[in-house]
Structure 1
Amino acid sequence: MLHRALPALLVTVALTATACSQGGNESVVEITGSASAAGESATPSESSSSSPSGTGTTAAVSPTPQVVATAATGLDVPWGLDFLPDGRAIVTERDTAKVLLVSPPVDGQPGDVVEAGTVPKVVPTAEAGLLGVAVSPHFAKDRTVFFYTCTAKENQVVKATLRNDELGKVEPVLTGIPNGEIHDGGRIAFGPDGDLYVTTGETGDEKLARDRDNYAGKILRITPEGKKVAGNPFDTVVYSWGHRNMEGIAWDDSGNLWASEFGKDTADELNLIQPGLDYGWPVVEGMSHQRGYTNPQLTWPPDDASPSGLAFDGGYLWMAALQGERLYRITVQGKKATDPEGFFEGDYGRIRTVVTAPDGNLWMTTSNTDGRGDPGPDDDQILVVEP
């Protein structure tokens, strides 16, 4: 049965204190800040543009996204997802450390699911495990895929070849990322520049986000070999800092980098990421306008969001919400993000990941078997959304 949800009513109200978790559900979308104020930085050197760019300009009336197919069912905490050149998705399971290859659905039936292998040394605890996956931009030649893994002593970026649907030997790319039972970050993606971007969490140790030389609570930018990129702001692998926990990054059609970030008590965030800027955690949460800290573009109470995956498609950012149990569509015009609308609220439970598929649809994963959801008989699922 296909589900079709009407856009959630948007209201602007003051934030109320809410408990920090990634479970539960509320029905009201709350946004703080105005479109003109959102995203302004207290750093004098930062500037922004409100002019539309490319497909960032959207029509006055947009179609309502709807789920049109199911790609897979019965998965165990699917976390990372990327697409191979042949159109199949490569998917990670957080707790089993399995790597799956999922074919697109055919004639209304889910696609084939093939187990390519298991990433070794993964230790799943609470939010930790086998997390993000990114396919090499040169996969046709190097057959390489990258993973973000949580081991007993640290988090790592590793790589392996994928040939004949089998995962090869796993090798470390970047080590020494602090780990914890919570706030491990874990989203990885190749940017338009060909570099690999890595989101990390502060592992529940807030002071790590303030240490610019520490890998925790940061966005890291590395080469496919795990080295710092020439031009990184601090001559290290650190790209931005002062983050709590990020599980979503995406680039719009103008090359701007966006990230979704978990708040604590009051404000989940959508941030426009610029190199070297300090996003304030734990000194500030949400909008602050304090000098030296960069304001988010949009904020939500954690009950309405707890944002994870992020994708860009058709002039919009699409943000998966765990605790909010919905998919947000956010208008992007230049360097401004506005007018978030929530869809599928409560229809599929917790939404972990959203990725743009080769055909322009979105693939969206549920996360109801992660210990914080209420799994149904088909969970966890990968759903195909026509945006």
Structure 2
Amino acid sequence: MNACTRRRLLAAVGLSIAIAGCSTGSEPDARELATPESVPDDDWSTPEWRPGEGTPAEDDVVATTVVAGLEVPWDLAFADGDAFVTERDGGVRRFDASALAEDAALGPDGGETVLPGDALPNRSAPGEGGTLGVAVHPDYPDPAAVFVYYTVDENGIGNRLVRYDLEADDLEPVLEGIPGASIHNGGRIAFGPEGALWVLTGDADDPALAQDPGSRAGAVLRIAPDGDPHPRNPDWGADGDRRTYTLGHRNPQGIDFTPQGRPVIAEHGPSARDEVSVLRPGGNYGWDIVRGGPDDSEYGSYDAYDDAAPPVVNTGPGTTMAPSGIAFADDAVGFWENRLLVAGLASSALHVVTLSPDAGDDGDDGDGAANGGDESGVRYDAPWLDDRFTATVNTLFDGAFGRLRHVEPGPDGSLYLLTSNRDGRASGAFPREGDDRIIRLEAANS
């Protein structure tokens, strides 16, 4: 896979650098990036959607705590009037979505436990592990099925994906053999285009696994609801896992899809260096060989590896989002239309990422600015980044709610935040009485 970008070519020409194969940085080391043997056609086209105008601001929304007293909530999914919440040290609760849209200060008992933690076989919660992602079958409530990703301890720590039928009270495995550890378990799951189920896995504290196409670690997997590989996944060779869509990831914990249907993920970096990526099928996102630009002396540079797929955002070694769950706000969330929302843990903030088609391609309005969005915030447009988009990041609610684990659009048009202040990593004023919470953000003018 050749990740040569237009920005990199222009930068190289502008600096009169002799290039070969688009490598403009230092020479790669002896390790090579894993690549697929074949990749499905990439149907990329310049998107017709554009981000909303203006600068996103805290005053755009009103924040209300709708559920208090949760035990380290990790994921939230809405379907057909129901809201399913996982608690890392427990199981799955179900709330009435209309109650979340209308009420305030519900307790955990405002919902019902539909799948207790002790009903998940061999469930374990070491460090960052536990009951993590939840997704609801696209045809819910027929079938009335939810999918849960959780950590197991069965002759060693790993992770497992299961399907739970609420009506039959039946639990069946969907995908096992996902490497795990006390850290870097990934864990977010989501249904995407064509009813495919997407699964994010971490490197399980063994970075080399992220470059092993057969390991299921440090990867984005695309599968059918029964666990079989998606038929149009890349071919990673005889020893590769056909469930793998992309690899080379460190600890991805957020996934959603643009209106174009493109998967977008966010992942934790080493000592900051957090990333947001618009995925390319068969892409290798570099970990643990590549993790930055030519000025980062600790890791290889994306512009030195033709086979590395670059992100749209890399925060560099000096800044961290500590990104977890993400959501692409479509036109149902009109006040931040078509922007990517990223929940931040160590940053204790909500990061609003405006993705605009790159100015050098078709968005140039004559002054170097990309159409859509605004010029405030932190702009990411270095030559070694993914040049399909220019990203601008605005940071909101800095320290207001503590650590944020996830953000999810609700059927009422509001956004819902999950805090993670009782996970042992909060500091300062957190945890507060009432933590952990579900916080509703609704448009201030609604």
**Distance (Å, rounded) in 2 between the aligned partners of 1:326 and 1:109:** 22
Greater Cα offset, 112-121 or 58-67: 58-67
**Distance (Å, rounded) in 2 between the aligned partners of 1:302 and 1:113:** 41
**Distance (Å, rounded) in 1 between the aligned partners of 2:173 and 2:408:** 25
Q: 1:151 to 1:70 in 2, by over 3 A?
A: same
What's the CA shift for 1:58? Answer: 1.9
SS across alignment from 1:105: helix
1:10-36 deviation per Cα after TM superposition (whole angstroms, max 9, x unaligned): xxxxxxxxxxxxxxxxxxxxxxxxx96
What's the CA shift for 1:271? Answer: 0.8
User: TM-score scaled by structure 1?
Assistant: 0.83
- Residue 233 (structure 2) pairs with residue 177 (structure 1): no
**Paired residues of 1:70 and 1:105 also in contact (CA < 8 A):** no
**Paired residues of 1:318 and 1:327 also in contact (CA < 8 A):** yes
4+ aligned runs moved over 4 Å, structure 1: 40-43, 45-52
- Residue 150 (structure 2) pairs with residue 149 (structure 1): yes
**Paired residues of 1:278 and 1:294 also in contact (CA < 8 A):** yes
- Residue 286 (structure 2) pairs with residue 291 (structure 1): no
**Distance (Å, rounded) in 2 between the aligned partners of 1:247 and 1:327:** 15
**Distance (Å, rounded) in 1 between the aligned partners of 2:7 and 2:440:** 34
User: TM-score scaled by structure 2?
Assistant: 0.72
- Residue 371 (structure 2) pairs with residue 326 (structure 1): no
1:32-52 deviation per Cα after TM superposition (whole angstroms, max 9, x unaligned): xxx967xx9979x99998955
SS across alignment from 1:364: strand
Which residue does the alignment assign to 2:287?
A: 281
What's the CA shift for 1:264? Answer: 0.5
Which residue does the alignment assign to 2:263?
A: 257
What's the CA shift for 1:218? Answer: 0.3
Q: Residues 97-246 of structure 1: matches in 2 within 5 Å? A: 98-103=91-96, 104-105=99-100, 108-111=103-106, 112-119=110-117, 120=120, 121-153=122-154, 154-163=158-167, 168-234=169-235, 236-246=242-252
What's the CA shift for 1:274? Answer: 1.3
**Distance (Å, rounded) in 1 between the aligned partners of 2:395 and 2:43:** 26
What's the CA shift for 1:277? Answer: 0.8
**Distance (Å, rounded) in 1 between the aligned partners of 2:140 and 2:353:** 31
**Distance (Å, rounded) in 2 between the aligned partners of 1:240 and 1:203:** 16
SS across alignment from 2:113: strand
Which residue does the alignment assign to 1:8?
A: none
1:235-266 deviation per Cα after TM superposition (whole angstroms, max 9, x unaligned): 61010000001000010111111100110024
Q: 1:354 to 1:107 in 2, by over 3 A?
A: closer
Which residue does the alignment assign to 2:69?
A: 74
Q: Please provide the CA RMSD for this pair.
A: 2.6
Structure 2 residue corresponding to 1:352, chosen from 398, 401, 405: 405
Which residue does the alignment assign to 1:309?
A: 325
1:70-95 deviation per Cα after TM superposition (whole angstroms, max 9, x unaligned): 22100001001100211x31000001
**Paired residues of 2:101 and 2:440 also in contact (CA < 8 A):** no
What's the CA shift for 1:138? Answer: 1.0
SS across alignment from 1:209: helix
SS across alignment from 1:141: coil
- Residue 67 (structure 2) pairs with residue 91 (structure 1): no
- The structure that is helix-richer by fraction is 2
SS across alignment from 2:100: coil
- Specify the code of the residue in structure 1 equivalent to 2:328: F
Which residue does the alignment assign to 1:385?
A: 441
**Distance (Å, rounded) in 2 between the aligned partners of 1:382 and 1:50:** 37
**Distance (Å, rounded) in 1 between the aligned partners of 2:400 and 2:345:** 12
Greater Cα offset, 329-338 or 193-202: 329-338
What's the CA shift for 1:57? Answer: 3.2
SS across alignment from 2:195: coil
**Distance (Å, rounded) in 2 between the aligned partners of 1:307 and 1:187:** 12
Equivalent residue pairs, number: 345
What's the CA shift for 1:325? Answer: 0.3
Q: 1:106 to 1:299 in 2, by over 3 A?
A: closer
Matched residues, percent identical?
35
**Distance (Å, rounded) in 2 between the aligned partners of 1:53 and 1:246:** 27
Higher Rg of the two aligned structures? 2
**Distance (Å, rounded) in 2 between the aligned partners of 1:107 and 1:196:** 31
Unpaired segments ≥5 residues, structure 2: 1-5, 12-21, 24-34, 237-241, 294-301, 330-336, 358-387
SS across alignment from 2:194: coil
**Distance (Å, rounded) in 2 between the aligned partners of 1:280 and 1:82:** 30
- Specify the code of the residue in structure 2 equivalent to 1:243: H
Structure 2 residue corresponding to 1:57, chosen from 41, 51, 62: 51
Q: 1:345 to 1:50 in 2, by over 3 A?
A: farther
